[in-house]
Each structure stands twice: as C-alpha cells, then as structure tokens.
Amino acid sequence: MALNIPLLKNICEIAGAPGFEKRIRDLVIQEVSSLVDELSIDNMGNVITIKKGVNNPEHKKVMVAAHMDEIGFIVSHIDDNGFLRFQTLGGFDPKTLTAQRVIVHGKKDVIGVMGSKPIHVMTAEERTKVAKTADYFIDLGMPKEEVEKVVSIGDPITRERELIEMGNCVNCKSIDNRVSVFILIEALRNLKNHPYDVYGVFTVQEEVGLRGANVSAHTINPDFGFGLDTTIAFDLPGAQPHEMVTELGKGTAIKILDASTICDYRMVAYMKEIAIKNDIKWQPEILVAGGTDTAGVQRMGKNGAISGAVSIPTRHLHQVIEMASKDDIQASIDLLIACLANLDQYDWSH
C-alpha cells in the first residue's frame, strides 16, 4: 500500500503551534469525520474520535494519542524598528534558528526571517560563544507602524519549510509529530473488525507538557493505551552504537521506556509478538531523555491503562529538516492496526 504523500504533505506543512492548533485541527476533522462513529472536541481543543468495537460486552476502551501541535514561538515584543522578540513554545536548540524563515500568524500570515548579529561585526569572543535564543529576533522587512497593523503581542509563529521526498524518505519541518497524525488517520481508515472501542485522540499542547493527553485520558479512562510519536534516529556520523536509540529504515520502534514512561511489560511483549507474527519490521526504543503522550495515556485515567507506544524513527528532530523513512511509516501504520485488532486474544493478567 503506497503512502498518501499529498495528505502527509498537507498535514506536515499546516500551522499549529502549541495552544494554537485550529488549522491542523480543522484538517484532522475534515479527514476523519467519515471514518469514525463519533467525533467531539473538548474544551482544550483535543479531537476525540470513537470507532466502535465489534464484540465488546465489557465496553473496553483503547486510547490512541497523536499530538497535533508543533514546536513554535509566540510574539513577546515589537521594538521601535519593527523587529519582533519572541518566546519559544517547545524545546529548541538555539543554533538551529540561524538563517530560517518563519510565519507570523497575525491578522494575516506574514513571512519573517530569524536574524542575529552578523559574524562580520562579532568580536573574537562572541564568535566562540554558544548561541542563545535571546540572540535572535524576527525581521519582517517592515517598519513598526506597518508591523503593528497585522501583528500583536501574543500572536503565534511557526516555521516555514515544505515537505519533500528524498530517496525513500520524507523531509520537512514538523514530522514531529504530524507523521503520527497521518498514521492515526490511516489506521482509522483501514481498521476493521477490532474488538474494543478505539478512541483515536488528536491531542493539543504536547510539546509544552503533554497537556492535551492528560486531560483526554482523564475523560476517557481507557483500559489500554498507545502513544504515537517520533523518536530519535541518531544513526549519524560519529554516533556510537549505544547512542543511536533507533535507526532509519530498520522498522517501526516499540517503546520500552522514555524519561516519562516505563511501558507496561505486557504491552511491550504483546507488541513484539504482533510484529513478529505479522512480519512487521521493528526495533526496540529506549529513550533516556524526553517523553510523549504515552505518559498521559498510561496514568491520567482513573484506573490507569495498560500502555505502550509506536515510535517513528526520525533524524534531525526539532529542526526544520526532520526526516523519516517511508517504510518505517508504513510499518507503524501496520503495527498499530494489528495491535488494535487483536487485543482480545492476549492474556493480560499479571
């Protein structure tokens, strides 16, 4: 089954900074409304869909979470010359801001560029210093009076970069986590004859603290849970084998743990068994720093959930050149569907 690259492109390129997910939310609703039995939006803006199980007398619930938001910025100041200062929404390595275009979402969308002090006028000491976010400003090419006609303090800012295909990979800003939004949509499209009610949840504000997943898991109180998110593929020059976490093209990743979650050992064993039985290429994931919506899904329901995660190996995370393998993306879709379809066939006792 060929990936729907035009859909993935739309999902990755559309704007949706944490707390400002309306555009991506509208696209998600457009895509999934015809694929599910129920759809609602909670007060935070999470999109909660339900696809009913075929044999579910105990009303078991499975929550699958994919966050819609992308790392971005928010306007914090407009100076006398029309330059913008900003605060980050999510985690950035400041050096990745150099020479980037951004989109300021004011009364209309305005293109800006990340500026900093030119190397030509830096002192010798300044040239050796590690870049800080505070060293950057946004240049809109307009004087203050023109800027203020369209931009206000508190307007969100996203990064500008289109999706392209490179070899057997896709490359774009916001592969994290729009690739998982795509995977969940495709799983809902192709999922049939699953035993339990599947709650496909497109969450908000993950990049600033798993906020949407926490609220939606509290509402749903799932019995089982799956997080969908990218993970580090550090299969790059200079990396030691024990540092790689995952490798591109080696299959979807089954999360064992990250900094916020120890996945249920039963779920990890189940996911491995399903992958092997269905000839789905997979690799284990142990991520020592960072967390995903899996943590919220696992522990914010009243009873807790037997939880695991499908992770998508991604190079160059939290940059505008994030890269994922098409084969790994397809394997992630296949694994999620197979796991949802067979939950009633496994012994979940401790």
Q: Are strands 169-172 and 164-166 parallel, antiparallel or unpaired?
A: antiparallel
Query: Rounded to an integer, what distance in angstroms lies between the CA atom of residue 56 and that of residue 74?
Result: 45
- How far apart, in Å, are the Cα atoms of 53 and each of 67, 196, 217? 23, 4, 19
Do the Cβ atoms of 213 and 65 come closer than 8 Å? Answer: yes
Which candidate, 104, 95, 132, 103, places its Cα nearest to that of 316?
95
Q: Who's near 8: CB < 8 A, 6+ residues apart?
A: 163, 170, 178, 179, 182, 329
Pick from 285, 294, 274, 296: which is nearest to 341 by CA? Answer: 274
Helices assigned H by DSSP within 253-299: 265-277, 294-299
- Of the residues 206, 247, 285, 322, only one is catalytic, namely 206
Any residues with CB less than 8 A from the CB of 339 and at least 6 apart, and which?
Answer: 226, 270, 271, 274, 310
Q: Would residue 206 show up in a list of annotated catalytic residues for this protein?
A: yes
Cis peptide before 177, with omega less than 30 degrees from 0? yes
Q: Which of 161, 198, 187 is closest to 48 using CA atoms? A: 198
Residues involved in catalysis: 206
